[in-house]
Structure 1
Amino acid sequence: MATPPMRLSKEARREQLLDAALRLVREQGADGLTLVTLAEAAGVSRPIAYGHFGTRTGLLLALYRRLEERHRDAVTEALRSAEPHAGVIAHVMSAAYFACATDMPEFTAVSAALKGNPEAEALQHELLDDYTEVMVAAMAPHSALPAEALRLRCIGVLGAAEAIAVELNRGRTTALDAVNALADLIVGSLAAGR
């Protein structure tokens, strides 16, 4: 006699659904992801999928948040073991940034699927602020810039990082060159200007 499937907590079920959604995006792209295909892939009823995310947009937003948080967490973790030297910290941040950018191909598909969505734009701003805080905290001990000037430079460097990630994902640069370029930009941004 088969044992009945174990009942998951709401949070564990949500994580299971997000894992299944990421697999679907990886295998079929974001266009293949709906709440119906998610329910089928996860082996749950449609009401369970709808109950967790409400709409396809809600699901995509949850995936976007999860990927961004994983990215930020990976950088934060890498920084914990970095030597307290600006060049080392910049290199560690850059390597972690591009490892996440290339290790999470789903991010590009999810981001593209959300393009033009006002909720996605608000979430992007929120997560950029969080990521900027991580970067400012890591670089502040190595810069004489006022806090606001350093924050603005970190935002600029993150914009450059995104552009370099596009080049890397297009195969127009190597991971090593991308990491070195971003590290140089980070260190260069620490100098006090006029």
Structure 2
Amino acid sequence: MSSSEMKIDNPVGTRRRLTRQDRFRQLMDVAWCIVRDEGSDALTLGRLAEKAGVAKPVVYDHFSTRPGLLSALYLEHDARQTEAMDEAIATAEHTLDNVASIIASTYVNCVLAQGREIPGVIAALAGSPELEKMMRDAQGMFMEKCRGLLLPHAGPAGVRPAGLWAMVGAAEALSNAAAKGDIGADEAKAELVEMIKAMALR
């Protein structure tokens, strides 16, 4: 079960004595639920405190600002995607077909696991130059990981930055379309695999 699917059973007015780490996990789970159920615009520190059943200073102690909360959500999603890719790569034969399939599958699966939440978080991040830079830095690390995996299979031109940016754009668009039900998940993955292979062999 993804964090976005977890049920929040801590109603307003109750208090649970949690460790700092457990409280952070609870707040993150509630934040994902707010984005899923009410949209990213509804995610404020005050709303998070209300839904989590804690005092506002507790939330401010963990995130300080709304941008800080949005950053934490995006970075958690990014970390899950990286972990899933690393685990799959560790046990797979490093052929181009396998590498392209792992990149495509882990990207699409992680977006689908968050449902409509991650597109909303990304849209909110894009409204702030500072947060957009954070997101682009994370995308840059993802692209560098993909470049390293694809380089042994690349054609004479190598793996070019423009191709990697095109891959990320396609991955985001296809994953979001699958999350909205416009296309099937398998269709999104298959299309992305072919795009990644063509980009590497160019």
The answer to whether TM tops 0.5 is yes
**Which stretches of structure 1, 4 residues or longer, exceed 3 Å deviation after superposition?**
4-7, 144-147, 149-152
Deviation at 1:6, TM superposition (A): 3.8
2:134 matched to 1:123?
A: yes
Superimposed CA distance per residue, residues 57-82 of structure 1 (whole angstroms, 9 cap, x where no aligned partner): 22122212222222232222222222
- Residues 11-160 of structure 1 aligned to structure 2 (within 5 Å): 11-105=21-115, 106-145=117-156, 149-160=159-170
Deviation for aligned residue 1:184: 0.8
What is the CA distance between 1:15 and its match in structure 2?
A: 2.5
- The Cα RMSD (Å) is 2.1
Alpha-carbon separation, structure 2, partners of 1:64 and 1:137: 23
Which letter does structure 1 place at the counterpart of 2:139? L
Structure 2: runs of 5+ lacking an equivalent? 1-14
For residue 49 of structure 1, what is the amino acid of its counterpart? V
Moved more, 162-171 or 132-141: 162-171
Distance 1:114 1:154 in 2: 21
**Which residue does 2:178 correspond to in 1?**
168
Unaligned runs of 5+ in 1: none
Looking at structure 2, the residues matched to 49 and 128 of structure 1 have their Cα atoms a distance apart, in angstroms, of 27
Partner SS, residue 30 of structure 2: helix
Q: Return the alpha-carbon distance in structure 2 between the equivalents of residues 140 and 164 of structure 1.
A: 23
- Alpha-carbon separation, structure 1, partners of 2:160 and 2:91: 23
CA distance in 2, matches of 1:186, 1:53: 37
- What code does the residue aligned with 1:107 have? I
Q: Which amino acid aligns with 1:131?
A: F
Distance 1:7 1:59 in 2: 19
Q: Using structure 2 for the length normalisation, give the TM-score.
A: 0.82
What one-letter code is carried by the residue in structure 2 that aligns with 1:191?
Answer: L
- CA spacing shift, 1:151–1:79, aligned 2, 3 Å: farther
Deviations along 1:78-137, whole A, 9 cap, x unmatched?
Answer: 222222210122112211111112111210111222332112211111111111122112
Residue correspondences, number = 187
Shift in Å, 1:186? 0.9
Q: Which amino acid aligns with 1:43?
A: G
Quick one: distance in 2 between partners of 1:104 and 1:64?
A: 11
**In structure 1, C-alpha distance between the alignment counterparts of 2:42 and 2:100, rounded to whole Å:** 38
Q: Does 1:189 align with 2:199?
A: yes
Counting aligned pairs with the same residue, the percent is 33
Question: Do 1:61 and 1:120's aligned partners in 2 also have CA atoms closer than 8 Å?
Answer: yes
- Report the TM-score, using the length of structure 1 for normalisation: 0.85
